[in-house]
Amino acid sequence: MAYATNDGARIRYETDGDGPAVVLCGDAGLGAWQFGWQHGAVAGPYTTVTIEPRGVGESDPPEGPLDAATFAADVDAVLAEAGIRKAHLVGYGLGGMVAQAYALASSRPRSLFLIGTAATGDAYDPAAVWADPNDPAAVRASLEAAFSPGFRERHPDVLDRIADWRIAEDADPETFAAHRAAVEAFDVGDRLHELTTPALVVHGDADDACPPHYGETLAEGLPRGEFRSVAAGHLAGVEASAAVNDELRGWLDARTEE
């Protein structure tokens, strides 16, 4: 584990693997468990950089509301501390918004792989997915918005494990409120034409927290955007991990060869 500092806040991150860097930017209030499926598919031929956003894990807690620009500056501080000049960004929900903000502000991003996100915060309700980790019943209930009904019916054992990870790793209510403020304030809808970084938008077709037409609109507005739909709810990288990982590895391999 290692730490970077931005504006007085310590941000914990972890690197694994050897090769071009891939930064994992997490969703509002969720722990690093959310990227377990993608980490295993990428680490090795790529260097994965898993960042614990402010208030998650061992990163310093936020002091009041946050915005995507602050999270993007945290990513920049991590890359500078790790000695990484360029990186691919993989972002879920809020993390996808952070990736967009960072690509608008910096030349470090090589590409964007955006899951279940949008160009504006009013398109996504993170409260539908997060729950207070001190309330196991609420955590279990929140899985209904995170995954499709079919997945929940077929994999109750997986849901049990995810609930345990969420209770152990997810952010507290104060941190979630700060993360949610960053989602609500996010709006790059009128700047998408400036975001020329190659981007692949992946969306679960049963995502109720951030409906898929917002992902399609995002991809259409990006000069170098592409869109893929997968059979899943909001946490498509978990529910449809094989399909998402195939897209991710293919995307990264193609961008690395450019």
- Boundaries of domain holding 164: 2-257
Sequential pLDDT tens for the chain (258 residues) = 899 999 999 999 999 998 999 999 999 999 999 999 999 899 999 999 999 999 999 999 998 889 999 999 999 999 999 999 999 999 999 999 999 999 999 999 999 999 999 999 999 999 999 999 999 999 999 999 999 999 999 999 999 999 999 999 999 999 999 999 999 999 999 999 999 999 999 999 999 999 999 999 999 999 999 999 999 999 999 999 999 999 999 999 999 776
| pTM, entire model | 0.97
Q: Looking at residue 185, which CATH number applies to its domain?
A: 3.40.50.1820
Tens-digit pLDDT profile for residues 146-156: 999 999 999 99
Instruction: State how far the Cα of 182 lies from the Cα of 180, in Å rounded to an integer.
Output: 5
Instruction: Give Cβ neighbours of residue 258 (< 8 Å, ≥ 6 apart).
Output: none
Task: Name the amino acid, one letter, at 103.
Answer: A
Q: How many structural domains is the chain composed of?
A: 1
What are the C-alpha distances in Å from 171 to residues 29, 136, 151? 5, 13, 25
User: Which parts of the chain fold into alpha helices (H)?
Assistant: 36-42, 68-82, 94-105, 136-146, 149-154, 156-169, 173-185, 212-221, 236-239, 241-257
Tens-digit pLDDT profile for residues 191-217: 999 999 999 999 999 999 999 999 999
Instruction: State how far the Cα of 69 lies from the Cα of 67, in Å rounded to an integer.
Output: 5
